[in-house]
Chain A
Amino acid sequence: MADSDHEYSEQGSDDDIPTRNGTGRAGAPRGRAMASRPKGRAQAKWEAAASSNWELHEGADGSIEGVLGGLEEAGKRKRLLKDTTPLQRGIIRHTLLILDLSIAMIEKDLRPTRHLLTINYTVGFIREFFEQNPISQLGILGMRDGIAIRVSDMSGNPNDHINAVKALRGMDPKGSPSLQNALEMARAALYHTPSHGTREVVIVLGALLTSDPGDIHDTIKSCIKDRIRVSIIGLAAQMHICAEICRKTNAGDENSYNVAVDEVDYRELLMSITTPPVVRSTDTEAQRRNQAALLMMGFPSRIVEEKPTLCACHGNLTRGGYLCSRCKAKVCNLPATCPTCDLTLILSTHLARSYHHLFPLRNWVEVSWARARQKGSTQCYGCLAPFPHVPAAEERSEHNGTRAKRAEGASESSRYECETCQNHFCIDCDVFSHEVVHNCPGCQSSAHLPGAEEEANGVEGESDAMAT
């Protein structure tokens, strides 16, 4: 059931029966029994996105080439323009992914069926999750036929999960999902996790109902007590109970409940879970309990032996592996927990993988034609691809007012500047540096950074002015 529109809610307001599912958005009750929406409501996210970009404004010379190129660049940059302030994030994560295996997943609105698409995306998600969070643990549950089933246990090895999820292809979806059973099983699985890690549950829900044996609000209360954060990805429509679960377990934050509008959006929502979650300062009681801990970890080296020996993790004969730093038991691959002495064994590269979340790269700004003329850049600093020519000054002043912006988010000169090193880059280097490398080529290539020196001088100048 989609959000009911204006007229329906007015008629239904005479009813006193509170409903849980289907109508109204959480958080806007108006003193009535039924959660009705106020007049002139804010646009839903999907409505704002659906407003058409169908009108293409022609450029000054009558061609739409510039506008199309601008749209392409804006699309590429859309993903980048998120907040890059360095926030404290939970790096050691214990996440449970709960998949909906109910009859609603047979729907073909996401090709080929929701079920198959979910399995494909989940395999990708598992790989990406362990790439971005190598010291975290993942578990997978399913909601099928009114009960929760265990697809794979909590572990740090991606192959276990991938094999288990691939085996789900053979299992047909059946029955209805039960949010309460799934949350209870998730709670039990997360009960023994140490307090210095995060406890997260991600639910993919395609159905519009949940059939629970008891009161789900008690389950929600116990999840809050156990400091579990739930985020839900809906595939059909918004549900009140999902919004409530997410809101209550995330201390009032409403962004953890999203409904996917198409396949691309679904994949993006799923992949956004791989970014470590932010630790909230409002959560003081949880923070007190969630004290950061000093963890003892071993850094083994790889050995190569002449004669094969047994490994401690599987019992296979192998000629190489890693020796635990404390008890010298051999394990096959890292990261692992030593089976003998329970020491976490990792490589320093695994820790280094998470550094870019803690020290993110600053966003680059668009360059206007005037600035491009000032710097005289003809090539991208990173890849030596040529930039479009800067138009002559007279042309520029004529069209100053009338020249339409190419698109929101795209630079008119196709140049993007890093404020610290003041070098110009092309759109591909922008996307690449921010999404894959997390380094700025210019800042790393020069010991004298004009932007940083300007900032430092600015600060000194101020303090001088204050002192005198």
Chain B
Amino acid sequence: MNIVDATDRTEKLDEGEAPSLLTIILDTNPHAWALLTESLSLSKAVANLLIFINAHIAINHANRVAVIASHAERAVWLFPAPARPRYESHADGVHSDGEDSEMQDREAANSDTPSQPRDDANKYRPFAHIEHVLLSSLRQLIDTTTTDALSSTPSTMIAGALTLALTYLSKQIQALPSAMTSAQFNYSDATAVAGGNELSADGSRNQPSMDLSSRILILSVSGDLANQYIPIMNSIFACQRLTIPIDILKLAGDTVFLQQAADATGGIYMALDNNSRAGFLQYLMFAYLADQAGREHLIMPGEGEGVDFRAACFCHRRIVDIGFVCSICLSIFCEPLQDNLCLTCGSHLSMGNYGQKPVVVPKRKKKKKRALADGGADTPASERSTPAP
């Protein structure tokens, strides 16, 4: 409210519920899923996941979803489906023999999907569309998996999937007209700057637009991801910056840093075991369906438990409570190094005060004065000095 003339010139904001964008990262590591076929096969999991996605879209008409698959050796978009690369079909001699197939590919690439979904009158069109695109992309992903790709690495490209999700989210957030920067210049505020509030901001980090609340859900089945530690950490810090919570539902395997990721970004972490895996859909619906606004009013799982933050040392991969850190490259070691050379950066390190014994100074014997006569009964004066150590 303007102090001088009491007019209120703020824009009327939309009072409706904010739309929410849910990005799902599906870990499709074939090795890990093969081990789970008895309790929860991939096809059953995807079917349940589709029901969850339908529920998310049904809550608010403007809600959106995006799905990324993190496969053994690559991370690909499942929904929205990526367009295929389009080559010039003009006759400059390069693609002349493949021209017919190129033309077909162009036609195909023009539409989002290779073929249209079956026209089922009973199915809500957005649900049908998502299901069709997701299943055909997933089928294509599995068809194009070669055997040597499978044997190359037993882990999954979760860092790539996270980064892809982040770039997509940042683009969606940027594309919306933001309600935060107002073009109104507030004369009453001494710190306002003409031309917008970006410069006079109180230094707080980039506020995401109030219009879109986004989150990332990771369905993970793989084990150790040690070689992707640094990229995963970078993604976690980027999510912290954009205040995007990362929720984790662990179906199998154990990783230390995914739990830290959920805790650092304010997400929910749950791990299922063999008994509870059959209730996959129920866990999804109960714990992960509410968006950030709803979570404030609900009691979320995992609040009362502590989190294991201990680090793994670089030399033996042991979990350590107290570690030794190189001040140049910040690598963690579990014990003082041999010949004082850092294993990662090779620089010579001094040990500081470690292992130093305290200096002992011999006490000089001093004759104590005789104590006062009164009250001497309680405190007998001792004429001997304290014994030397």
Task: Kindly report which residue of chain B lies nearest to residue A393, judged by CB atoms.
Answer: B92
Q: Is B328 an interface residue (CB 8 A)?
A: yes
Interface string of B186-209 (1 = CB under 8 A from A): 000011111000011111110000
**B338 CB to closest chain A CB, in angstroms?**
12
Q: Is B86 an interface residue (CB 8 A)?
A: yes
User: With A383-B170, A436-B241, A446-B160 in contact, is A294–B234 under 8 Å at CB?
Assistant: no
Interface band, chain A: 35 or more
Contact status A343-B167, CB under 8 Å: no
Partner of A291, one of B82, B174, B325, B348: B348
Q: Is B311 an interface residue (CB 8 A)?
A: yes
Q: Which positions 51-93 of chain B face chain A at CB distance < 8 Å?
A: 72-77, 80, 82-83, 85-88, 90, 92
Per the bound structure, the CA–CA distance linking A382 and B174 in Å amounts to 14
User: With A128-B203, A343-B322, A355-B330 in contact, is A447–B85 under 8 Å at CB?
Assistant: no
Per the bound structure, the CA–CA distance linking A432 and B163 in Å amounts to 10
Q: Is A428 an interface residue (CB 8 A)?
A: yes
Task: Kindly report which residue of chain A lies nearest to residue B303, judged by CB atoms.
Answer: A304
Contact status B190-A91, CB under 8 Å: no
Task: Kindly report which residue of chain B lies nearest to residue A270, judged by CB atoms.
Answer: B203
User: With A358-B330, A436-B238 in contact, is A448–B352 under 8 Å at CB?
Assistant: no
Per the bound structure, the CA–CA distance linking A373 and B205 in Å amounts to 39
Task: Kindly report which residue of chain A lies nearest to residue B236, judged by CB atoms.
Answer: A349
At the interface, is chain A mostly helix, strand, loop or mixed?
mixed
**A41 CB to closest chain B CB, in angstroms?**
33
Interface string of A95-131 (1 = CB under 8 A from B): 0000000000000000110001100111111111001
Interface centre among B152, B153, B307, B323 (most CB of A within 10 A): B323
Q: Which positions 142-195 of chain B face chain A at CB distance < 8 Å?
A: 149, 152-153, 157, 159-161, 163-164, 166-168, 170-172, 174, 190-194
Partner of B327, one of A120, A295, A441: A295
Contact status A433-B163, CB under 8 Å: yes
Contact status A263-B193, CB under 8 Å: yes
Per the bound structure, the CA–CA distance linking A382 and B166 in Å amounts to 8
User: With A351-B330, A384-B82, A446-B73 in contact, is A267–B199 under 8 Å at CB?
Assistant: yes
Q: Which positions 217-243 of chain B face chain A at CB distance < 8 Å?
A: 228-231, 233-238, 241-242
User: With A296-B354, A445-B161 in contact, is A384–B309 under 8 Å at CB?
Assistant: no
Q: Which positions 293-310 of chain A face chain B at CB distance < 8 Å?
A: 293-304
Per the bound structure, the CA–CA distance linking A377 and B88 in Å amounts to 11
Contact status B153-A433, CB under 8 Å: no
Contact status B320-A299, CB under 8 Å: yes
Partner of B203, one of A120, A197, A292, A373: A120
Task: Kindly report which residue of chain B lies nearest to residue A262, judged by CB atoms.
Answer: B199
Which chain A positions have C-beta within 8 A of B14?
Answer: none
User: With A377-B85, A378-B85, A392-B88 in contact, is A294–B350 under 8 Å at CB?
Assistant: yes
Q: Is B1 an interface residue (CB 8 A)?
A: no
Contact status A447-B152, CB under 8 Å: yes
Which chain A positions have C-beta within 8 A of B348?
Answer: 291-292
Interface residues of B, CB < 8 Å — how many? 90
Task: Kindly report which residue of chain A lies nearest to residue B76, judged by CB atoms.
Answer: A445
Per the bound structure, the CA–CA distance linking A122 and B201 in Å amounts to 11
Contact status B328-A382, CB under 8 Å: no
Contact status B237-A112, CB under 8 Å: no
Contact status B234-A292, CB under 8 Å: no
Task: Kindly report which residue of chain B lies nearest to residue A438, judged by CB atoms.
Answer: B234
Contact status A359-B230, CB under 8 Å: yes
Interface string of B326-370 (1 = CB under 8 A from A): 111110110011001010000111111010000000000000000
Interface string of A261-289 (1 = CB under 8 A from B): 00110010000000000000000000000
Q: Is B308 an interface residue (CB 8 A)?
A: yes
Which chain A positions have C-beta within 8 A of B167?
Answer: 380, 382-383, 425, 429, 432-433, 437, 441
Contact status B168-A382, CB under 8 Å: yes
**A17 CB to closest chain B CB, in angstroms?**
42
Per the bound structure, the CA–CA distance linking A124 and B242 in Å amounts to 16
Interface centre among A299, A351, A444 (most CB of B within 10 A): A444
**A430 CB to closest chain B CB, in angstroms?**
10
Partner of B171, one of A122, A303, A383: A383
Q: Is A6 an interface residue (CB 8 A)?
A: no
Per the bound structure, the CA–CA distance linking A158 and B92 in Å amounts to 62
Q: Is A21 an interface residue (CB 8 A)?
A: no
Q: Is B310 an interface residue (CB 8 A)?
A: yes
Which chain A positions have C-beta within 8 A of B321?
Answer: 298-300, 325
Which chain A positions have C-beta within 8 A of B242?
Answer: 436
Contact status A383-B168, CB under 8 Å: yes
Contact status B309-A351, CB under 8 Å: no
Which chain B positions have C-beta within 8 A of A197?
Answer: 327
Contact status B337-A445, CB under 8 Å: no
Q: Is A71 an interface residue (CB 8 A)?
A: no
Partner of A429, one of B171, B326, B330, B352: B171
Per the bound structure, the CA–CA distance linking A147 and B228 in Å amounts to 51
Interface string of A315-358 (1 = CB under 8 A from B): 00000100001100000000000000001000111011111101
Per the bound structure, the CA–CA distance linking A359 and B330 in Å amounts to 12
User: With A291-B349, A375-B85 in contact, is A348–B332 under 8 Å at CB?
Assistant: yes
Which chain B positions have C-beta within 8 A of A433?
Answer: 163, 167
User: What are 12 A-B interface contacts by the 8 Å CB criterion?
Assistant: A124-B204, A194-B352, A295-B325, A299-B321, A301-B309, A380-B171, A425-B167, A426-B171, A444-B157, A444-B159, A445-B163, A446-B157
B: residues with CB less than 8 A from A are: 72-77, 80, 82-83, 85-88, 90, 92, 109, 149, 152-153, 157, 159-161, 163-164, 166-168, 170-172, 174, 190-194, 199-205, 228-231, 233-238, 241-242, 260, 264, 304-311, 320-330, 332-333, 336-337, 340, 342, 347-352, 354
A: residues with CB less than 8 A from B are: 88, 91-92, 111-112, 116-117, 120-128, 131, 194, 196-197, 263-264, 267, 291-304, 320, 325-326, 343, 347-349, 351-356, 358-359, 373, 375-380, 382-386, 390, 392-394, 425-426, 428-429, 432-433, 436-448
The 10 closest A-B pairs by CB, nearest first: A124-B203, A445-B160, A382-B167, A444-B160, A348-B311, A383-B171, A376-B85, A447-B73, A445-B75, A352-B233
Inter-chain pairs besides A263-B193, A445-B157, 14 sampled, C-beta below 8 Å:
A120-B200, A128-B203, A291-B349, A292-B327, A293-B350, A300-B321, A347-B311, A354-B330, A375-B85, A376-B85, A378-B109, A383-B170, A393-B88, A429-B171
